[in-house]
Structure formats: structure tokens, C-alpha cells
Structure 1
């Protein structure tokens, strides 16, 4: 399985906090690395809450 890119997920957001700049709304946490990386580090399982953003192609 490829690494999950949180920047393409609807649950990802930027917190603007220096120590924890990235957040995941689905899992309810902030972290200093991309949330998918932190999830894999702590559980050994790839993120199961990933939902790809839909981009308008005009």
C-alpha cells in the first residue's frame, strides 16, 4: 500500500501552532508530522479514515 497523503484528505487541516502544525478532524488530534505518519507510527496500521478531497476540474 502506498503512503497516504494527508494533504489530499478532507479531514486534514493546518493548526498554525508551532509545535503541532498538522491536524486530523476525523481522529481529533494535532501533531508535528503528517497525521497519517503518526497513525502508522503508533499503531502499525495505515489510516482508515482517509477520504480523498474532490477537486473541481473546470
Structure 2
């Protein structure tokens, strides 16, 4: 059985925090904002962990684009 890596937006290079209180979290890969971590929305809606997860690399920093 193949082990599925744990997906967490906080460790993903596509994740960003917005300044919009109702939609604090943004996924640049999927192009949407959410009130909760986008990986939770993806898992709930598709039944699969996010397929766009890409680990942050050294030097990557969370960016905030409104």
C-alpha cells in the first residue's frame, strides 16, 4: 500500500494569507480563497488530498497579495 503524504497548506508554496477577514487563506495553484485552509476544502469536496501540494523550498516566504 502506497503511503499518501500529509498535505498542509502551511507547508505549501502555493498558500498565502489574505487581508480579507472572511477569506483569510488563498491557494494560488487552484485560484480560490477560503475561510479555512484550502487543503481542507479540497479534501472535503474531492475526497483526495490536494494534488497541487508543493513543499516550500528554503528561501520561500509566505507572501500576501490582496
Which among 9, 34, 39 is matched to residue 36 of structure 1? 39
Match of 1:46 in 2: 49
Deviation at 1:3, TM superposition (A): 3.6
Matched, 1:5 2:8: yes
Whole-Å separation in 2 of the counterparts to 1:34 and 1:3 = 14
TM-score (norm 1): 0.86
Whole-Å separation in 1 of the counterparts to 2:55 and 2:42 = 17
Higher relative contact order (CA 8 A, sep 6+): 2
Runs of 4+ more than 3 Å apart: none
CA-based RMSD: 1.3
Q: Which runs of 5+ in 1 are unaligned?
A: none
CA 1:32–1:7 in 2, change beyond 3 Å: closer, same or farther? same
